[in-house]
Amino acid sequence: MPAALDILINDYAVAHGYFYSDWYNMRAHIQNLGDLIEAEDWVSCNTSCESIETWLWNAIQHIQGGTPNLRTEMTQMMTWVSDNWPTVEPPPPLTMHAILEAMYDATPLEYQYFICYVDAYRANMWNLPFYESWHGDLVRHFRP
């Protein structure tokens, strides 16, 4: 993984850690709030509600607007990936000219392999049915 992307992923993990901590603390205060309500400890209930509000606000900030926040960190990661995504040019079209040019530029070993393949195909054709009309049409097509 590229170092720049590793840094962004780590920053996202840190933001996620803050967000998780916010929700975890909020959950603890909500659990405690139930006990306080049952005990009718209204002063402590008020304190617990204020803590829940604080942790909820922190969680919102760590999603959207605070530092660090999940939205910004994810956007930075996706922007880096988009900006650094490898681009591959499509191959040029396969034309007879391209084939002939490749054959002309081939090394002796490459054209030896090519001829071996052609001879193998040709030898295999002896075992296949011969379609006179199709072969005749093909020959006529190339006559001057």
- Tokens standing for 106? 């081939």
- Tokens standing for 130? 């011969």
Q: Tokens 């193998």 appear where?
A: 120
C-alpha 102/C-alpha 112 separation (Å) is 14
**In the chain, what are the domain boundaries?**
3-84, 96-142
Output the pTM of the full model.
Answer: 0.51
Please state, as a whole number, how many other Cβ atoms lie within 10 Å of the Cβ of residue 99: 10
103, 114 contact by CB (below 8 A): yes
Cis bond leading into 129, ω under 30°?
no
Give 40-94 pLDDT, tens digit per residue: 999 999 999 999 999 999 888 888 877 888 888 889 989 999 899 888 889 889 9
